[in-house]
């Protein structure tokens, strides 16, 4: 095949920037697509590592096709709602097909949306819609499905309630929950981009823990007792989601509170559980665990508290 050149879309975002770094760590030449006027900022950021920055207008079909020319794989890390996931990513897909790119990795990076119920989760519905579109093309596709980003355990998601010494759960306290650190996802995606034989779906989880496990981990790392808190079941959570969605003004926010609640429901119900896992497809690696993330957070908070005292 000669020198591999990968195309990366969305490399200026959080996960996309980590994927760019993973390519750089592997000395993989890649083109980072950025919007017109964003090249200088991209070169100043972490995306510059090993990248050829290409400014492209996603409404310019010919320019987008040229940006994909002679690439071995297009990797999408675009993040947004329908105008991005279906619109921009769809135009990127069309350009990759027109340019004869053999492989495409869509911006899925989520729990297993193929097993969840249509209508239950807006962002998963968008991924399903794009799956139907891309599976109608000749391009070979690999979706990387991963556990919820492990970094959410530090407070962004209402799971570990530090002040209350509780682990919030809406389902069975022994329901396994998948988490994967962002850097681990990025590293794996870089390997997938270089794997010409990768299958349609790959599933990874850096750690799988139950709410009861999380209570034990927090008790261990803080030396304070944590317990699971179950205010209600999946039915009550669904009712709260409907209320929150009704009361939330329409916006372009990708993750309003009710969307996060939808994601938690797919986790707590077990419908989005990743199985089987493909963690070892590219050899043994050290995965970041829930304990790693929580212990670092507790240690950082303790150090910060000592500095203020």
**Domains of the chain: total:** 1
CA 52 vs. chain centroid, Å, equals 24
HSE of 55, CA atoms in CB hemisphere, 13 A:
8
Look at residue 243 and tell me if it is in a domain: no
Look at residue 116 and tell me if it is in a domain: yes
**Residue (of 84, 56, 52, 86) closest to 71 by Cα position:** 52
In order along its 309 residues, the chain shows pLDDT tens digits of 446 799 999 999 999 999 999 999 999 999 999 999 887 777 777 566 778 999 999 999 999 999 999 999 999 999 999 999 999 999 999 999 999 999 999 999 999 999 999 999 999 999 999 999 999 999 999 999 999 999 999 988 899 999 999 999 999 999 999 999 999 999 999 999 999 999 999 999 999 999 999 999 999 999 999 999 999 999 999 999 999 999 999 999 999 999 999 999 999 999 999 999 999 999 999 999 999 999 999 988 776 665 554
Sheet containing 166-168: give its strands across: 160-161, 166-168, 227-229
Look at residue 267 and tell me if it is in a domain: no
Angle at 33 between CA 32 and CA 35, to 5 degrees: 140
User: So what's the pLDDT on residue 236?
Assistant: 98
Look at residue 303 and tell me if it is in a domain: no
Q: Which domain holds residue 112?
A: 6-147+181-204+272-280
Look at residue 216 and tell me if it is in a domain: no
Look at residue 60 and tell me if it is in a domain: yes
* β-bridge pairing 207-209 and 177-180: antiparallel
What is d(CA 175, CA 111) in angstroms, rounded to the nearest whole number? Answer: 15
In angstroms, the Cα distances linking 172 to 11, 168, 212 are 38, 11, 9
Span 76-115, pLDDT tens digits: 999 999 999 999 999 999 999 999 999 999 999 999 999 9
Cis peptide, bond prior to residue 237, ω within 30 of zero: no
Look at residue 107 and tell me if it is in a domain: yes
Look at residue 12 and tell me if it is in a domain: yes
User: So what's the pLDDT on residue 37?
Assistant: 83
CA 194 vs. chain centroid, Å, equals 19
Arithmetic mean of pLDDT over the chain? 94
Q: 3-class DSSP state for residue 229? A: strand
Span 226-271, pLDDT tens digits: 999 999 999 999 999 999 999 999 999 999 999 999 999 999 999 9
User: So what's the pLDDT on residue 48?
Assistant: 64
Please give the model's pTM, rounded to 2 decimal places. Answer: 0.95
Angle at 252 between CA 250 and CA 256, to 5 degrees: 75
- Contact 91/33 with Cβ under 8 angstroms? no
For residue 89, what is the domain's CATH number? 3.40.50.720
């Amino acid at each position: 095949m000669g020198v591999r050149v990968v195309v990366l879309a969305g490399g200026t975002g959080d996960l996309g920037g980590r994927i760019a770094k993973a390519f750089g760590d592997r000395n993989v030449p890649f083109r980072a697509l950025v919007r017109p006027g964003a090249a200088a900022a991209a070169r100043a950021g972490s995306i510059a590592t090993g990248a050829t920055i290409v400014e492209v207008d996603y409404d310019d079909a010919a320019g987008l096709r040229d940006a994909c020319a002679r690439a071995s794989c297009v990797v999408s890390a675009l993040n947004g709602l329908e105008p991005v996931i279906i619109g921009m990513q769809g135009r990127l897909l069309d350009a990759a097909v027109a340019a004869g790119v053999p492989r495409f990795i869509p911006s899925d990076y989520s729990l297993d949306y193929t097993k969840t119920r249509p209508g239950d989760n807006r962002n998963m519905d968008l991924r399903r819609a794009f799956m139907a579109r891309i599976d109608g093309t000749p391009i070979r596709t690999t979706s990387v499905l991963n556990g919820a980003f492990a970094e959410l355990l530090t407070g962004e998601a209402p799971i570990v309630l530090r002040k209350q010494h509780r682990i919030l759960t809406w389902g069975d306290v022994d329901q396994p929950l998948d988490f994967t650190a962002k850097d681990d996802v990025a590293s794996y995606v870089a390997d997938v981009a270089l794997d010409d034989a990768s299958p349609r779906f790959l599933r990874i989880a850096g750690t799988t823990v139950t709410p009861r496990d999380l209570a034990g981990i927090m008790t261990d790392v803080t030396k304070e007792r944590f317990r699971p808190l179950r205010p209600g079941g999946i039915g009550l959570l669904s009712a709260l989601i409907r209320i929150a969605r009704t009361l939330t003004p329409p916006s372009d926010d990708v993750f309003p509170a009710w969307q996060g609640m939808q994601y938690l429901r797919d986790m707590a119900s077990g419908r989005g559980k990743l199985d089987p896992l493909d963690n070892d497809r590219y050899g043994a690696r050290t995965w970041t665990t829930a304990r790693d993330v929580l212990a670092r957070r507790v240690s950082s908070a303790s150090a910060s508290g000592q500095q203020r005292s």
